[in-house]
Amino acid sequence: MNDEATRCGYVAIVGRPNVGKSTLLNHILGQKLAITSRKPQTTRHTLLGIKTEGSVQAVYVDTPGMHKENQKALNRYMNKTASAALKDVDVIIFVVDRTRWTEEDDMVLDRLKHLSNPIIVAVNKTDRLEDKSELLPQLKWLAEQLPAAEIIPISAQHGTNLLALEALVAERLPESEHFFPEEQITDRSSRFLAAELVREKIMRQLGAELPYQVAVEIEEFKQEGRVLHIHALILVERDGQKKILIGNAGDRIKRIGQEARKDMETLFDSKVMLNLWVKVRSGWSDDERALRSLGYADI
């Protein structure tokens, strides 16, 4: 076989919430694309991150964390989205957190056991283990659960072992023409990425105070000369949440705007004028029609 054969395929990054899937994608791509926070279920949609190096194009699919909380329409959407991503991919990266194993990890493992796709288990956050030998029983147990899988310890945050992980992915991709132009890094629109950056700043600042009932809608996205004008509407479910988000004399919303604008200027390579406002829309996270209007399709 010719070593230079063109390879291309889809790679699903799956796992329970908060194991570092989005951080892993960002480090592989070498830039911030997927939003991250310490709060579980930060990722709500699938996001493609496209990396082309020479003859290999890997199309990574960042997915919402699979979780047991299924009561609300939004939670059902997130689980359905993550499960659907497993169907048509060429390789699966199952991200787990060191020796921490939960019922939600079991749930993901059960789904993977029935698949024939090549699986790579990425044991993340190993940099936080003082005694690396603690990991050995866990690696042995994982090998017993998924005998055909390749298992690799990594640190997504520090980039440890990611080149080795990418090499394992490349070996498992089918021979194929590339699906996307070499310079393209995602399938998502700039509007989508702008909305996600605002939501990230809200979750990072208010993760403990504000529950998940926050959505961001971009109402204007317009380049005028060297300035990109972005108007973002933040939806919450109750008046109390609106007060928390705005803060004393508007200080909280101002800080969220400043941090989001900084990331947007880097991402869009342009000066950004960002306007944020907050609106109460009661019950949106459990209203399937409202969710569809906010871009949560196929519920």
Known binding residues for GTP are 15-22, 62-66, 124-127
How many residues are there in the chain? 299
Binning the chain into helix, strand and coil, the percentages to the nearest 5 are: 40, 25, 35
d(CA 298, CA 80): 9
Q: Residues with Cβ < 8 Å from 114, sequence gap 6 or more?
A: none
Return the number of other C-beta atoms located less than 10 Å from residue 128's C-beta.
Answer: 10
Are residues 61 and 12 in contact, defined by beta-carbon separation less than 8 angstroms? yes
The DSSP output letter for 105 is H
Backbone angles phi, psi at 99, to 5 degrees: -100, 10
- Of 283, 112, 124, nearest to 294 (Cα)? 283
Task: Specify the residue for token string 């497993």.
Answer: 86
Amino acid identity, position 81: T
Distance of alpha carbon 61 from alpha carbon 67, whole angstroms: 18
Helices (H), the chain: 21-29, 73-84, 103-113, 135-145, 162-172, 190-206, 239-246, 251-268, 288-293
Binding-site residues, in ranges, read 15-22, 62-66, 124-127
SS3 83: helix
What pairs with residue 227 in β-bridges? 224, 271
Relative to beta strand 227-236, strand 215-224 is antiparallel
Contact between 98 and 138 under an 8 Å Cβ cutoff? The reply is yes
